[in-house]
């Protein structure tokens, strides 16, 4: 099956988190402990929860639960992106690019949840 970092959802989630990190460097200092911190945390949590899910592949319900947590963090990322747009910290073009990437991550996570058996560790 490969490794965690071979998963397309992980690769795309990681790239999205890194793009958000770089863009959020432009956010105003007064947002450091609010929007900047929150968007960085939840975007990184997508991959962190996916890593936890990957280690739970022997247990279908736990695996799916952690994938759901990852999807939830991805949804939170999209909400913070909407706030960043509304506050004028990112352009409409940046929002659409990042939000579309988040939508792609969401589709991959839902696929994994709906097809968990393809990702589980098979018992000998």
Is residue 54 in a domain?
yes
Q: If you write DSSP's letter for every residue of 70-119 in order, what string do you get?
A: HHHHHHHHHHHHHHHHHTTSS-HHHHHHHHHHHHHHHHHHHHHHHTGGGT
Is residue 123 in a domain?
no
Say yes or no to pLDDT of 46 above 60.
yes
Boundaries of domain holding 100? 4-116
Q: pTM score, two decimals?
A: 0.94
Q: What is the domain-level CATH number for residue 68? A: 1.20.1440.60
Is residue 73 in a domain?
yes
Is residue 122 in a domain?
no
Number of domains in the chain: 1
Say yes or no to pLDDT of 108 above 90.
yes
Is residue 69 in a domain?
yes
Contact 35, 25 (CB under 8 A): no
Say yes or no to pLDDT of 61 above 60.
yes
Count CB atoms within 10 A of the CB of residue 29.
Answer: 7
């Amino acid at each position: 099956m490969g490794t965690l970092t071979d998963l397309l959802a992980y690769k795309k989630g990681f790239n999205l988190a890194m793009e958000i990190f770089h863009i959020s460097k432009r956010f105003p200092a007064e947002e450091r402990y609010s929007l900047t911190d929150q968007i960085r945390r939840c975007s990184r949590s997508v991959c962190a929860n996916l890593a936890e899910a990957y280690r739970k592949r022997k247990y279908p319900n736990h695996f799916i639960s952690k994938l759901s947590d990852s999807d939830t963090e991805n949804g939170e990322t999209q909400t913070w992106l909407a706030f960043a747009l509304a506050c004028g910290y990112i352009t409409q073009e940046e929002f659409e690019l990042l939000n579309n990437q988040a939508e792609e991550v969401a589709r991959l996570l839902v696929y994994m949840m709906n097809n968990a058996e393809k990702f589980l560790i098979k018992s000998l």
